[in-house]
Structure 1
Amino acid sequence: MSIRFEGRVAIVTGAGGGLGREHALALAARGAKVVVNDLSAAERVVAEIRAAGGEAIASDASVTDFAAVQAMVAQAVDAWGRVDIVVNNAGILRDKTFAKMDLADFRLVLDVHLMGSVHCSKAVWDLMREQKYGRLVMTTSSTGLYGNFGQSNYGAAKMALVGLMQTLALEGEKYGIRVNCLAPTAHTQMTEGLMPPAVLDKLKPASVTPALLYLASEDAPTRAILCAGAGTFERAHITLTQGVHIGTGPDAPERVAQRFEAISDRAGDMVPGAGSAQGENEIRRAGGIG
């Protein structure tokens, strides 16, 4: 199987450097027409793509500005008639411990990572529904999935993107829209100084891009959290244990405490198909259904 993108139009946000640049170059090299979105360096990446024989246009739209994002989508449609792929990659860091973090920096990180992805996804949603085809990739993070000291704002935004992906995948399924998350580990300008040089050398952004190409492809899965770094690829899941029925008596809090290890037992845990699976499991264990 060869993953190709001839006839497809992709928008990659935050594509002036790092991961976004690698994603844009790789999509173009495999035949996609690419909108390179970046606040400052989009034209340089467009020049690289064109020099290699590909097709690309630049956009300096801020993903925090929905009107600007809508104009970027219109720009793509005017040029090429459609949008098939959106890679929500734009991001910033404002790292501090929660005790020291200014709320303005918390909101700013949410605005760029979460609302930026909402804006870009919303701007193409009706278009993708009408054309019965779409691939949306949210850039989540191990910080969102598992936590990281000093990154409460970033972690909150990145985990929120998983929740967005889960629901958009369900709502887009009948329209041929597949929605996934990519959790990269890569050395970019955002990670400068955070890891030793020998480690950073292995974590080149290009080592993540194969995962992106699969998630953007015609044969992409949907509702996957695909992790990638240093040429290693993993899949993360939000799971639910089988749980224990305790009831609602006056001693229920104490029994939860006593049975917490059994409640946490991962034997037979599941990956729910939708949020309703939790309630269904709880009612079933309470003896209410089959």
Structure 2
Amino acid sequence: AGVANMVKQTMDAWGRIDILVANAGILRDKSFSKMEMSDFEAVMNVHVMGTVKPAKAVWEIMKAQNYGRILVTTSSTGLYGNFGQANYGAAKLALIGFMNTMKLEGQKNNIHVNAISPVAATRMTENLMPAEVLEKLKPEYVTPAVVYLVSEEAPTGVILTAGAGAFAQARIYETEGVYLGEGGLSVEEVRDNFARITDPGGQKAYVNGGEQSGKFFRKMQGG
């Protein structure tokens, strides 16, 4: 109901919605051993559903106007992990999965969907770092990346990391791997070929899940 009211107010005022920055988030940090399920569910609901609900509310509007820019907020914890943040990491990587599909579904209607992975001093981080470090991590240093990712020139499907004036792209890569055949497959074969399976030479960042399937079929046919 809150999202619907927000969208109605915007449409009443402007008649269109071009940009959504989905930035809802909370922390409930504890080691997994000490974490209650309520801690996990609360973080998942705020981060994931707090992104999905406004995206759903503006999606048909953006499709009808053949234009839209959506930015989700991920984190280095989701991309790489951080002790005591199993709930936060799960939620933040879930948003990358959401982005990866929405970038495909939005293509024909000029809807671009990207992710920002910020490092910034906010109410969520003010007790985690010294004051002199927080001073170098002003949210304003992330803002240019946010604005670019929702601009007309924005790419789509990009994870941009930003903090303290530094910017980089994060990507998920898959190795070329090896084809071990179908008959007589064993755990030992996977173990003995693990170095080849994980060899980074020729690794790629895929645009959609079908590219991975295509690789498997190609290797099955001897390619």
Is the pair's TM-score, using the shorter chain for normalization, greater than 0.5?
yes
Q: Take 1:214 and 1:251, find their aligned partners in 2: how far apart are those partners?
A: 49
- How many residue pairs get matched? 223
Q: Which of 27, 32, 40 lines up with 1:98 in the alignment?
A: 32
Further displaced range: 244-253 or 226-235: 244-253
Q: Which of 110, 128, 132 lines up with 2:44 in the alignment?
A: 110
Q: Which of 237, 257, 270 lines up with 2:204 in the alignment?
A: 270
Kindly report structure 1 stretches of 4+ aligned residues shifted beyond 6 Å: none
Q: What is the aligned partner in structure 2 of residue 233 from structure 1?
A: 167
- Give me the TM-score of the superposition, normalised by structure 2: 0.97
Q: What is the aligned partner in structure 2 of residue 219 from structure 1?
A: 153
The alpha carbon displacement at 1:251 in A equals: 4.7
Q: Take 1:248 and 1:99, find their aligned partners in 2: how far apart are those partners?
A: 40
Q: Take 2:189 and 2:136, find their aligned partners in 1: how far apart are those partners?
A: 48
Q: What is the aligned partner in structure 1 of residue 22 from structure 2?
A: 88
Q: Which of 231, 234, 247 lines up with 2:181 in the alignment?
A: 247
Q: Take 1:236 and 1:84, find their aligned partners in 2: how far apart are those partners?
A: 25
Secondary structure at 2:124's aligned position in 1? Answer: helix
Q: Take 2:152 and 2:34, find their aligned partners in 1: how far apart are those partners?
A: 45
Q: Take 1:265 and 1:196, find their aligned partners in 2: how far apart are those partners?
A: 40
Structure 2: stretches of 5+ with no match in the other structure: none
Q: What is the aligned partner in structure 1 of residue 82 from structure 2?
A: 148
Residue 121 (structure 2) pairs with residue 177 (structure 1): no
The alpha carbon displacement at 1:136 in A equals: 0.2
Secondary structure at 2:100's aligned position in 1? Answer: helix
Whether contact under 8 Å (1:169, 1:179) holds in the other structure is yes
Secondary structure at 1:93's aligned position in 2? Answer: coil
The alpha carbon displacement at 1:196 in A equals: 2.8
Q: What is the aligned partner in structure 1 of residue 65 from structure 2?
A: 131
Q: Take 2:72 and 2:185, find their aligned partners in 1: how far apart are those partners?
A: 43
Secondary structure at 1:213's aligned position in 2? Answer: helix
Secondary structure at 1:194's aligned position in 2? Answer: coil
For residues 173-222 of structure 1, give each alpha carbon's deviation from its aligned partner in whole angstroms, at most 9, with x where no partner exists: 11010000000011111012212333222111111111001001000000
Q: Take 1:102 and 1:208, find their aligned partners in 2: how far apart are those partners?
A: 33
Whether contact under 8 Å (1:246, 1:252) holds in the other structure is no
The alpha carbon displacement at 1:149 in A equals: 0.4
1:247 alignment partner AA: G
Q: Take 1:283 and 1:149, find their aligned partners in 2: how far apart are those partners?
A: 38
- Give me the TM-score of the superposition, normalised by structure 1: 0.75
Q: Take 2:193 and 2:166, find their aligned partners in 1: how far apart are those partners?
A: 37
Q: RMSD value over aligned CA atoms?
A: 1.2
Q: Take 1:215 and 1:101, find their aligned partners in 2: how far apart are those partners?
A: 35
Q: Take 1:267 and 1:152, find their aligned partners in 2: how far apart are those partners?
A: 31
1:76 alignment partner AA: T
| Percent identity of equivalent pairs | 55
The alpha carbon displacement at 1:232 in A equals: 0.2
